[in-house]
Amino acid sequence: MTGTAPVPVAFFDVDETLIAAKSMLAFWDFWSASPEARRIPAHPSEPGEGPAKGLETAHRAGRPAPATAAGPALDGGGVPADRSVLNREYYRRFTGVPLADLRAVARRWYDAYRTGGRAFLTAGLGALARHRALGHEVVLVSGSLRPVLDAVAADLGATAVRCAEQAVTPDGLLTGEIDRPMIGRAKADAVEAFLAERGAHGPDCHAYGDHDSDLPMLRSVGHPVVVGGSPALLREATRLGWPVLPAHRGPHPSLAAGRRPRPAPGRGHDPAGRER
């Protein structure tokens, strides 16, 4: 008697793979204007770039830290060190915020965001829908905030989220610290841990990403797919024959079908196709 075969898993980056925005930056703007944010004492600002602007600058092509004779400074996961530092600094801006407030504002942000006519990457959403139709487990893997990702996951039908986890005090306040930036090698580690947890076979699984820092995650599975035009990912796709999906923007599927999208629920073949 044989046991049931493990269900294949499809891992998706989120920003510019499924949604068109850089969610940490878009959410920061929304949060900063919210009544909940105005109740929290201002975080001491660093001179120069603020957390959102600095993170955006670092995100573009995975900006390296200042070069040395040995090359750019990297953290332990092969990510430019300043990007990891900026990621942690971003989360420190939420020090003292009640987690319940962050969740409430994240739901409001996503409910508004998902109504945009160019808010999603249509090819990424199509791939996710095909994996769900095939009975695959869908997991979001992102450096963004869990409250934001939980709203996206509930709306799009993902079954799990792997992200940087914010530390919380016993009375429900954010300390400003995270366990680990979910960037670069951390994404691959999260994928490998999830596969071990589920007993799934990496060669049978899929991963989708748009950014150079997604490369370790893409290499962790048997069916990697590139979304968009990152030069480093396109070189790897050309070398290894990986599928490439276009980064065309469009509306939420319910808007595309002519229906008004409902608010996202609370927590609670080749599937990718090839660009020809």
Using one digit for the tens of pLDDT, what is the confidence trace for 90-99?
A: 999 999 999 9
Q: What is the pLDDT of residue 80?
A: 52
Whole-model pTM?
0.83
Report the share of the chain in percent with pLDDT over 90: 72
259, pLDDT greater than 80: no
169, pLDDT greater than 50: yes
Residue 145 contacts residue 24 (beta carbons within 8 Å): yes
Gyration radius of the chain over CA positions: 19
Q: What is the pLDDT of residue 40?
A: 81
Q: pLDDT averaged over the chain?
A: 84
- Name 209's Cβ contacts closer than 8 Å, sequence gap at least 6: 13, 17, 215, 217, 218, 224, 225, 226, 227, 233
Tokens of 99: 């987690």
Residue with tokens 């915020």: 97
Q: Given strand 160-163, what is the order of strands in its sheet?
A: 160-163, 137-142, 9-12, 206-209, 223-227, 244-245
Q: What is the pLDDT of residue 170?
A: 98
- Rounded CA-CA distance 217/139 in Å is 12
Q: What is the pLDDT of residue 255?
A: 78
Convert the pLDDT of each residue in 198-241 to its tens digit: 999 999 999 999 999 999 999 999 999 999 999 999 999 999 99
Q: What is the pLDDT of residue 76?
A: 43
